[in-house]
Amino acid sequence: MPKPVIAVLYGYCLGGGLELPLACHLRLAAAEGAKIGLPELDLGTVPAWGGSARLARTVGRAHALARELAAMPAIAVREMLRCIVGAEGRSLEESIADERCAVLATFGTPDPHEGMRAFLEKRKPVFNRDPESRGGRSPGRRG
């Protein structure tokens, strides 16, 4: 693209609202009034539009991983970590493909349903932390 694309972040920039600015050349966030994040883990899944792939490239792996994970759903955490850790050595296209596999790995588990119910009921989600009991597996991830 011949001209720089600049995103100004103010207010709620969550989920897809952050994934779009992550695709821009530059991002400017308001010192006050910006709520920025990828809350997909709270909903039992992972970002679906390149958020994890671009987040690692934008802020670095250490910051991308710096999040409280103890109460998060095990499958979504595992898949998000695979996307972030693997993103450094892969092209953006490969990283986005890995992210799509991660999204598919969370489907069919109770976590997305619990996350959405908790959100609608304005309560903290209670995720089942035992991925083996749910049969969650990563579909065809490239090595």
- Evaluated on CA atoms 13, 14, 19, 22, the torsion sign reads positive
93 is catalytic: no
Catalytic residue among 19, 68, 79, 88: 19
Q: CA-CA distance, 101 to 140, in Å (whole number)? A: 7
Q: Both tokens of residue 80?
A: 């998000």
On whether the CB atoms of residues 112 and 74 are closer than 8 A, the answer is no
> Which of 63, 42, 50, 54 is CA-nearest to residue 106?
42
40 is catalytic: yes
Catalytic residue among 32, 40, 79, 88: 40
Q: Both tokens of residue 65?
A: 């991983």
Q: Please report where in the chains the tokens 């979504």 appear, as a residue.
A: 76
Which residues are catalytic, by number? 19, 40
